[in-house]
Amino acid sequence: MISLFLPLGVLLVAGLTMLASLSMKLFVSQAAAVLLGAAIVFLLYRIDWRALLYSRWFVPSFYVFTLLLLVAVLVVGPTIRNVKSWLVLGPLRFQPAELMKAVLVFVFALYFSRRHLAVARWRVVIYSLILALLPAVLVMAGPDMGSAVIMLGIWFGILSVSGLPKARFFVLLLIIAIAAAGLWLFALKDYQKSRILGLIYPERDALGVNYNTIQSKIAIGSAGLWGKGFRQGTQIQLGFLPVPESDFILSALTEEWGVVGALVVIGAELALIIGILQVGIRADGNTEKFLCLGAAVMFSLNFFMNAGSAVGILPVVGVTFPFVSYGGSSMVVNMLLIGFINAIGLKR
């Protein structure tokens, strides 16, 4: 079985090194989040986490609490980069959408493990969809399409292996396709549609909607096999590459470390996800299995959406590269999930 901590260590070191290249302030802030996350992993190793997970009130209460935080973001949260995603308390910024992703992993792990025999009923499926749609709609109002897609992806990923009959599974796929068409026609904003259309016509609007992707491709394409070296990336250091600490950290990393460095980081991410799935396969109960699956789906969607936008095959939706991108909220939440998965693997 793949150890979780070897690929995790590679990702954390890669992320911190890249942030040190960009800004020592970013490095210090992220290092603090990593240390807090490591403390959470150790705490979950020591405490009886199953008593919390299986209590009737803890996970539902945390779901409602996080839902209220998402409402608070829309009411009192500041607008940063044209998006309302954060709550600000003094020098601290917190992104409730990141917490909600993890909460949904726990919610659906419990929900479907307790209803795997009743999942053939549409009522059970629809109720679970409502649990996913409530936070997804709130973050879409931000607008944060990336987080909404991941929340719905967690729901669909766990539902797809929970025992849903094949006929109803295909009916559900048809409903999702119709809903996606409705989303395009009535819900997506013009700039979001422009980003998607920019994938089809990448040469258009090079200084507008396609600017970020073009600069990302230049950073990757100019890297070579071994890269330009620490703090030597011209796209990064001269400010051409936007948001290199988060949305385009893979592009920044590739420019300085080359194709070899990028492949090491991508390999570590895939190894971590495979390791999580292996823990789930060996877990004793359905709840633990679904929890590992949900975490793997969450990390996979974040990874593929971030990497896909960096190379121009997916629209830029502002999601992080797990354990590499800058972001205290996502780092602490991701480490929380690793703590639970590690405890499941050790059968503690």
Q: What is the pLDDT of residues 93-139, one digit of tens each?
A: 889 999 999 999 999 999 998 876 667 688 888 899 999 999 999 99
What is the structure's pLDDT at 57?
87
Q: Considering the chain, what is the average pLDDT of its residues? A: 89
What is the structure's pLDDT at 116?
66
Q: Find which of 44-48, 211-215, 242-246, 319-323 is predicted with most confidence, using mean pLDDT.
A: 319-323
User: Over the Cα atoms of the chain, what is R_g?
Assistant: 20
pLDDT at 90 exceeding the cut of 90: no
Task: Quote the percentage of the chain above a pLDDT of 90.
Answer: 57
The stretch 250-275 carries a mean pLDDT of 97
Least Cα distance to 337 among 68, 73, 150, 131 occurs for 150
The alpha carbon of 136 is separated from its chain's Cα centroid by a whole number of angstroms, namely 14
The stretch 34-48 carries a mean pLDDT of 92
pLDDT at 287 exceeding the cut of 70: yes
CB atoms within 10 A of CB 56: 8
pLDDT at 82 exceeding the cut of 80: no
What is the structure's pLDDT at 16?
97
What is the structure's pLDDT at 261?
96
Q: What is the pLDDT of residues 145-154, one digit of tens each?
A: 899 999 999 9
Higher pLDDT, 122 or 276: 276
87-89 and 92-94 strand pairing: antiparallel
Q: Give the lowest-confidence range in 60-74, 118-132, 319-333.
A: 118-132
Q: What is the pLDDT of residues 165-215, one digit of tens each?
A: 777 778 888 888 888 787 777 666 676 667 676 666 666 656 666 788 889
Bridge partners of residue 92, in order along the sequence = 89
Higher pLDDT, 316 or 277: 277
pLDDT at 348 exceeding the cut of 60: no
**Residue 92 burial (C-beta neighbours within 10 Å; 0-12, 13-18, 19+):** exposed
Higher pLDDT, 103 or 315: 103
The answer to whether residues 276 and 296 touch, using CB atoms and an 8 Å cutoff, is yes
What is the structure's pLDDT at 48?
79
The answer to whether residues 109 and 340 touch, using CB atoms and an 8 Å cutoff, is no
**Which H/E stretch holds residue 87?**
strand 87-89
The alpha carbon of 115 is separated from its chain's Cα centroid by a whole number of angstroms, namely 26
- What's the DSSP call for residue 187? I
Q: What is the DSSP string of 122-165?
A: HHHHHHHHHHHHHHHHHHHTTT-HHHHHHHHHHHHHHHTTTT--
What is the structure's pLDDT at 54?
82
Measured distance CA(79)–CA(224) in Å, rounded: 38
